[in-house]
């Protein structure tokens, strides 16, 4: 009897950059890795193609004609929960932080190593593969025990099948990366997790000490789940060490 081989659909990557040599290098290397590519040369075209084609991942330059990459990121993030990797010749901390706060998942500074960029693309797409594999088939949904696909920690409730987070019963809109951070912490409630471990386990590769990425993502999450971000009660900082999820429920 022949085995049925499951063929994964090709992933499509949207490249939004106005520098043709950069686009050509990215297209060549991405297609060599087996990805389909779409190209946009300005911000407005990037938004249009993102919303029309719904790519699996976006490589987005900051310095773009018509609409800059930060504005593009903000517009796309309103409608799509797709991984966005910012590309920029700038190496200023403020640009990186702003890009991440607007919903980007990653940030790569030009000139970049093609090998490193490919590794980051693969790491972000791997999260999508894991996410799709974790969704149970319709026929099996009734058989899955609730405790295997739900996590509850204090005021947080995570549905791992729906990729949904509720805080005190209210559904919160998170990016996939933000969800993955909470899921990792929720699997170890009350336990302090270092920034380095979060980078390795959630982002999927070494960041070479760039732990600000974790701090910015945590700040974004807190803005969505905390009543008072200056005094967080759910996603708590252990100064000098890392973060943990409180197991306490609020009295409200």
- Distance, in Å, from the CA atom of 96 to the CA atom of 98, rounded to the nearest integer, reads 6
Q: Where does the pLDDT of residue 1 fall: very low under 50, low under 70, confident under 90, or very high at 90 and above? A: very low
Structural domain for 239, as ranges: 147-245
**Residue from 55, 66, 64, 56 nearest 87 by CA:** 64
Confidence of residue 137 (pLDDT cuts 50, 70, 90): very low
Q: Which pLDDT does position 65 carry in this prediction?
A: 93
- Whether 65 and 115 map to the same domain: the answer is yes
pLDDT recorded at residue 51: 94
Residue 19's CATH number: 3.40.50.2300
Tell me which residue of 154, 172, 158, 131 sits closest to 232, measured CA to CA: 154
Q: How many residues does the chain have?
A: 252
Residue 251 lies in a domain: no
As for how many domains the chain has, the answer is 2
CATH number of domain containing 202? 1.10.10.10
Average pLDDT (12-39) is 94
CA angle 231, 74, 162 (to 5 degrees): 70
State the chain's mean pLDDT as an integer: 82
User: Using one digit for the tens of pLDDT, what is the confidence trace for 164-209?
Assistant: 899 988 998 888 788 889 999 999 999 999 988 888 888 776 555 4
Q: How confident is the model at residue 90 (pLDDT cuts 50, 70, 90)?
A: low
Across residues 28-55, what is the average pLDDT? 94
100 φ/ψ angles, rounded to the nearest 5 degrees: -70, -35
Beta pairing class for 36-40 and 12-16: parallel
Phi, psi dihedral angles at 115 (to 5 degrees): -60, -45
């Amino acid at each position: 009897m022949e085995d049925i081989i499951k063929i994964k659909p090709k992933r499509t990557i949207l490249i939004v950059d106005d520098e043709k040599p950069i686009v050509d290098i990215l297209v060549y290397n991405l297609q060599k890795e087996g990805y389909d590519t779409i190209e946009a040369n300005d911000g407005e075209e990037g938004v249009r193609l993102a919303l029309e084609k719904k790519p699996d991942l976006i490589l987005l330059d900051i310095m773009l004609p018509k609409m800059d990459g930060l504005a593009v990121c903000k517009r796309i993030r309103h409608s799509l929960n797709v991984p966005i990797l910012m590309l920029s010749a700038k190496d200023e901390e403020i640009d990186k932080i702003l890009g991440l706060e607007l919903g980007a998942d990653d940030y790569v500074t030009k000139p970049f190593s093609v090998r490193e960029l490919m590794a980051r693309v693969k790491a972000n797409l791997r999260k999508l593969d894991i996410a799709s594999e974790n969704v149970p088939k319709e026929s099996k949904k009734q058989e899955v025990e609730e405790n295997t696909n739900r996590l509850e920690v204090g005021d947080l409730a995570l549905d791992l099948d729906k990729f949904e987070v509720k805080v005190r019963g209210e559904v919160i809109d998170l990016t996939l990366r933000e969800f993955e951070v909470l899921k990792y912490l929720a699997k170890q409630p009350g336990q302090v997790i270092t920034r380095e471990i979060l980078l390795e386990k959630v982002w999927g590769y070494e960041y070479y000490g760039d732990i600000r990425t974790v701090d910015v993502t945590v700040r974004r999450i807190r803005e969505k789940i905390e009543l008072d971000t200056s005094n967080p009660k759910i996603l708590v900082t252990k100064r000098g060490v890392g973060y943990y999820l409180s197991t306490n429920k609020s009295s409200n």
